[in-house]
Structure 1
Amino acid sequence: MRRNRFCCGHSASCEFDSVSDEIIETWFDQPLLFTIAARHVRGRLVRLGPTLNTIIAAHNYPPVAEKLLGEALVLTVLLGSTLKDESGQMTLQAQTGGGPIELLVCDYRGGELRGYLKFDAERLAAVGPDPTLFALFGEGFLAITFDQATTDERYQGIVPLEGASIGEAAEHYFEQSEQISSLIRLAARHDHEAGCVAGGLLLQHLPEGEVGRDRLHVRHDTPEWDHARTVAATLKPEELTDPAHSLETLAWRLFHEDEVRVEPGVIVSRGCRCSTDYFAGVLAQFPETERVDMADDSGRIVVDCAFCSRIFPIPLGEISAPN
């Protein structure tokens, strides 16, 4: 069998073929980062399983909403894993322009992932089992925000929710806001054994500042990118969500003609940051008169966390004013 270079971050250098087990393989809830230097391409692959099921278990989502949230959470991990600041946060928000999905919010911070959907159940049921992005959101918009904690900088791009999927809308974001040509593939399905499984691929042409590449808007001859994109576009949804194949196997199937450097990303876990102490600290920032107005007849402020679908009743006496 032909052998090619496939280098991983687990050792200084390694070589394996499609049947080799020389490297640790990545399966669920951990992105695989890779670069193809000869093509001036970087990418990420991820497949969510246990973490995804933990997130959606707090809600009673219908199948259409579950699939949408699964794909959005995968997209959030793919984009969040590009943060060089490990304490930074990436937030994805999609808001309706008249569709049954009123709001979709996901965020990623240092491997912690959370997300939720707000929707009109009756109208969502009417769009059928395989609705278009327009049927879900109408003329909505997608906002992608990167918060760099160490530098206190924020970058945000807002684009219309256009295309066949939320992944295509994110491709438009990179084209318009970052001038980076990108390919995004997302898939989600329900597996009888693994529960809800969602997977995704992000492939990008390296921008200016990385191995000396020029911004794409000043380049028209990009055969390396055209080749990589064409190959990556052959990836099937069922391959992204198939628990039988590792992410390294998918990368090998796609790019075995080239030398590919792979590195495991940060392990992903459910990361809702809600707690009584946290909410009490937030409420302490409000003037006392406003806190009194928020309280119910029993003297408690009731906080509903949409991410984890839990209720936090906080007595006014347990909220201390900030020093």
Structure 2
Amino acid sequence: MTPDTLHAGEPGFAGDDHVVPFQVEGLDIRGRAVTLGPLTDAILSRHQYPGPVARLLSETIALTVLLGTSLKFEGKLTVQTQSDGPVNFLVADFAAPDGVRAYARYDDEALEQAVKAGKAEPHELLGKGILAFTIDQGPNTHRYQGIVQLDGETLEEAAAAYFRQSEQIPTRVRLASAELFDRDENGKLRHTYRAGGLVVQFLPEAPDRMRHRDLHGGDGDDGSHSFEEDDTWAEAQMLASTAEAEELTDPNLGVERLLFRLFHERGVRVYDAQPVHDRCSCSEDRIRGVISGFSADEIVSTIEDGEIRVTCEFCSTQYRFAPSEFIVPTEPN
């Protein structure tokens, strides 16, 4: 067992904002786990999201980080929801090898009503819609997109359904978010956001053991399908489900200790942790290039107080440009 005296960065304790791959050979599973601290807090604090929105977006960030760090190429993974709930749009990008950004859109009035009605659970805030996973490997390649329906499911359930229908891999996903209240070195009260997650996948050597229930067949499907789940996978899911939200977000527990708690009887092996960083891909040159593609009328319509202002939705950085950079004055007749 990892001693409690270890600190982040020492062997056996990756600490916040590091994804830890792991394997449990006795259960034929592989996975990844993470606790997010400064990264999540930095992204959420920029926008001053209401608590329910911040918690939902932090879970989306954790899911994106867990999946994005498994990419074996230089590219980008985008996890995005579009739905009819109070939180109608969530998006998180992971740019390999370690860059993360995210933001949310929500309806203030609908959110307030949902909270007053006691309907502020993540799946209630999302409502009905879609959860999309998009992989972009860069120029001269085709983008891949997988879509699953949101119809009262949590992000955990929807992500598991994505792997089930798109990757044909039995998968268990655990996500959690938390608000931490403590005091800084000067005794001043501070408030930060945290997130954590765990992805477990069943990958036995014999593919026929990866059987799982058929997806619902739609109208007229009575759900009566014969099914016999692999005992080993059933055990793995049961063990993963025992991870409490407090454990997934605890800054002092550490991912390695949590994995030991869950799987030590079967023998868990962890690999080198991969750091992730709050990093937006916007830049002045990139924004300038976008504006240059506008028509003259479109450019004129964006001018305000004699300048063009563009604010990045992800990182809230504001860029200012002179209209003369894009509009060529016409010569008088």
SS in 2 for 1:230: helix
Unaligned stretches of 5+ residues in structure 1: 1-16
Call closer, same or farther: CA 1:301–1:220 in 2, change over 3 Å.
farther
SS where residue 195 of structure 1 aligns?
Answer: strand
Matches within 5 A, 1:213-252: 213-214=207-208, 216-217=210-211, 222-252=230-260
Aligned pair 1:94/2:81, yes or no?
yes
Match of 1:268 among 262, 267, 276: 276
CA distance in 2, matches of 1:320, 1:82: 44
Number of the residue aligned with 1:203: 200
SS at the partner of 1:306?
coil
Cα distance in structure 1, aligned partners of 2:326 and 2:228: 59
Taking every aligned residue pair, what percent have the same amino acid on both sides?
37
Select 2:33's aligned residue among 45, 50, 58. Answer: 45
Alignment partner of 1:315 out of 311, 316, 322: 322
Aligned partner of 1:7 in structure 2 is none
Larger Rg: 2
DSSP-derived class of the 1:83 partner: coil
Bigger drift between 274-283 and 218-227 goes to: 218-227
99-108 or 190-199, which moves further after superposition? Answer: 190-199
Q: Which residue of 2 aligns with 1:61?
A: 49
Q: Mark the CA change 1:163 to 1:184 in structure 2 (over 3 Å): closer, same or farther.
A: farther
1:103 maps onto 2:89 in alignment: yes
Contact 1:30 1:264 in 2 (8 A): no
2:127 aligned partner, one-letter code: G
Q: Give 2:93's aligned amino acid.
A: D
Whole-angstrom distance in 2 between the partners of 1:157 and 1:189: 29
Q: How many Å separate the matches in 2 of 1:215 and 1:124?
A: 44
Measured after TM superposition, the shift of residue 125 of structure 1 is 1.5
How far apart, in 2, do the equivalents of 1:290 and 1:59 lie? 31
Kept in 2, the 8 Å contact 1:91–1:108? The answer is: yes
SS of the equivalent of 1:257 reads: coil
Which residue does the alignment assign to 1:174? Answer: 163
Unpaired runs of at least 5, structure 2: 183-190, 213-226, 329-333
Match of 2:100 in 1: 113
Q: In structure 2, the residue corresponding to 1:31 is in which secondary structure?
A: strand
How far, CA to CA, are the matches of 1:191 and 1:137 in structure 2?
24
Of stretches 221-230 and 99-108 in structure 1, the one that deviates more from structure 2 is: 221-230
**Superposition CA RMSD, Å:** 2.6
Alignment length (residue pairs): 299
- Provide the C-alpha distance between the structure 1 equivalents of 2:198 and 2:262, rounded to a whole number of angstroms: 11
Write the mapping of 1:14-33 to structure 2, written as runs, cut at 5 A: 17-19=1-3, 23-33=11-21
Show the counterpart of 1:143: 132
* Match 1:256 to one of 249, 264, 267: 264
Contact 1:106 1:113 in 2 (8 A): yes
The secondary structure found in structure 1 opposite 2:166 is helix
- TM normalised by structure 1 equals 0.84
Q: Deviations over 1:158-197 (max 9, x none)?
A: 1111455211111111111111111111111111137111
Q: CA deviation at 1:94?
A: 0.4
1:40 maps to amino acid: D
Contact 1:102 1:118 in 2 (8 A): yes
Q: 1:214-255, CA deviations, whole angstroms, 9 ceiling, x for partnerless residues? A: 583489552222211111111111111111111100010111
SS at match of 1:27: coil
**CA separation of 1:151 and 1:205: change in aligned 2, threshold 3 A:** farther
Name the structure 2 match of 1:9: none
